[in-house]
Structure 1
Amino acid sequence: MTNPFSYTPELDNQIAPAVSRVLNQDVRSAQRITRGEYNHVYKVVTNKQSVIARVFRMDGWPEVEKPSWLEAKLSELNIPHAKLLYHSRGDEFFPYGFMITEYLEGQSGWEAIDSGKIDFSKFHEKLSHILARVHGIKADKYGSLTDKDEQRSSFVDWKLHKLEKSWKKSQSVTSYDTALFQEVKEKTITVLREMESKFTPVLMHGDASPDNCVIGDSGEVILVDWDSAQASIWVNDYSYIMYWGSHMSSLGLRTERAEKIFQSSGEITKNTDFSEGELKRIIQALHILQAVDLLPYYYFEQKNMEAYENTKLRLGELVK
């Protein structure tokens, strides 16, 4: 794996000339956005428009062809999104390249919920409406949207491949033993294998939390930040949303918030493929896999020991 392109204050001075050069516009300001961002992200105001510039931290992530693939698919179905204006995987300033998209005016989902602009349940009702359209975009296989080496014909095989990679990396820093790994496999793969015949690969946003939504003046919910998009089962998007429901502790217990999301999401309640019990078993299995995925992410990439320890505790609770 290549070394990440880490942030330095010099980056703040490089973003304006880079945007000015590729858009051929005068840059008036560039403000770094730090909340919850994996790549280096800036809001840039030019003499003609406001844009988001995203400098990539890693080589090959997001996948080289993914931004263009997503732009074509979302535009084809007229799904609201921040349109792609520029994309490069190599630049004189940024070794792994950068991309520029439209800047969408409005509050983030969490800000809108917290301020009372939109009700928690109503927000997820609207989000589900958008996700149902996203999930209408079919894929050939599971995994990467554009990298064939990271695609699998079976959803379970793809998840098992990811589980083993994450677990191998996690074991170098955790005290977990082989018995726990086998328990994780048993509780997840068995459930998913049982229902795999009903699974179909579709486009998944991959991180459709309220943080990655913009609420416009009309109340429309628009998904942004598609870096984690991949081909998965449609339920996987909801498992992510429910896992991250812990952000809004003022709205009740985590289980209560998850149930509100579940019951507010029309794509869930109106589906005819799975019973409510089956969906909750799938989501539980996906939550276990997500916790395993997050352990090396928090430890190695974010170096966030508090989040790492909390995730270990949550994994223990999930596999009980």
Structure 2
Amino acid sequence: MEFYTKFARLLSNIHRIPIENYGYIGSGIADYESFIDCIHDKYDEITNGLIKKKLFNEVSLLEIKKTVIDRLRLCESLPSVLCHGDLSTKNVMIDEHGDLTLIDWDDAMAYNWIADLSRMTYWMKLKYNEYEYELYRDTFIEHYSTVHSKGDFHALENTFHVWIGLDHLNFYAHTPQYEDAWAYFNETVDKLHR
């Protein structure tokens, strides 16, 4: 709990760094002026891989895409900020004083704060049992500081988990981790349609 309290404070500061445009910032500048345009293209990129691997049919992916894009339009008013893109305990170093340093910025993106936190809570969902997940997630959210409504995070987290889940299914295809990722993906899609 102490770790996630400190991690929340660290991320709160990182997400205050504004970035122009949206998308991958490996070259220094993100390519998309619109968050939705970015998500739209990334969705197609991810799902093309799933179709080629014969893990999904195109029609079902288009149905999911419509719902995801419609819901994520609520993010259009959120500013683009520096996002790590791969938040997990494996990317945090702790020094002898207990101070945290976030490492491995290869996946740095210009998105909104909800996208980055949702990627972390997705990882937490696969890493921890239900009790630990709720405890650590709630501790993090309680200590995360933003001028925006945390209610927006609660409203959109599952939608981001659908999008992130597709990416993980692509990555985990034909590996032992695929079954767990598939089970949680189905859970998030069920919630999406409620």
- Regarding TM over 0.5, the answer is yes
Question: What TM-score do you get using the length of structure 1 for normalisation?
Answer: 0.54
CA contact (8 A) 2:8 2:141 kept: no
Unaligned runs of 5+ in 1: 1-120
Once the two structures are TM-superposed, the CA of residue 206 in structure 1 deviates from its matched residue by 1.1
For these two proteins, the number of residue pairs brought into alignment is 189
User: Contact 1:187 / 1:319 at 8 angstroms: preserved in 2?
Assistant: no
- Cα distance in 1 for partners of 2:53, 2:26 equals 32
CA distance in 2, matches of 1:155, 1:253: 32
Tell me: higher relative CO, structure 1 or 2? Use CA pairs within 8 A at least 6 residues apart: 2
State the percentage of identical aligned residues.
Answer: 24
- Report the Cα distance in structure 2 between the residues aligned to 1:132 and 1:258, rounded to whole angstroms: 15
User: Is 1:213 the equivalent of 2:87?
Assistant: no
Confirm whether residue 319 of structure 1 aligns to residue 193 of structure 2. no
More strand by share: 1
Q: For the Cα contact (< 8 Å) 1:183–1:319, is it kept in 2?
A: no
Match of 1:307 in 2: 177
Give the letter aligned to residue 235 of structure 1: I
On the 8 A contact 2:26/2:108 being kept in 1, the answer is: no
- Is the Cα contact below 8 Å between 2:22 and 2:32 reproduced in 1? yes
Query: Does structure 1 residue 135 correspond to structure 2 residue 15?
Result: yes
Where do 5+ consecutive residues of structure 2 fail to align? none
Aligned-partner Cα distance in 2 for 1:319–1:133: 32
- Where 2:87 maps in the other structure, the secondary structure is coil
User: Could you state the TM-score of these two structures normalised by the residue count of structure 2?
Assistant: 0.85
Contact 2:4–2:136 (8 Å) recurs in 1: no
C-alpha displacement of 1:255? 4.7
Q: 2:137 aligns with which of 254, 258, 277?
A: 258
1:254-287: CA deviations, max 9, x gaps?
4554334323x322xxx342252x2112221111
Is 1:286 aligned to residue 160 of structure 2? yes
In structure 1, C-alpha distance between the alignment counterparts of 2:183 and 2:48, rounded to whole Å = 19
- Name the SS for the 2:52 alignment partner: coil
Amino acid of the residue matched to residue 286 of structure 1?
F
Q: CA deviation at 1:317?
A: 1.2
Q: CA distance change for structure 1 residues 159 and 274 in 2, over 3 Å: closer, same or farther?
A: same
* Rounded Cα–Cα distance in structure 2 between residues aligned with 1:252 and 1:203: 30
1:158 matched to 2:38: yes
Structure ID, larger Rg: 1
Show the counterpart of 2:68. 188
Aligned CA-pair RMSD: 2.3
Residue 273 (structure 1) aligns with: 148
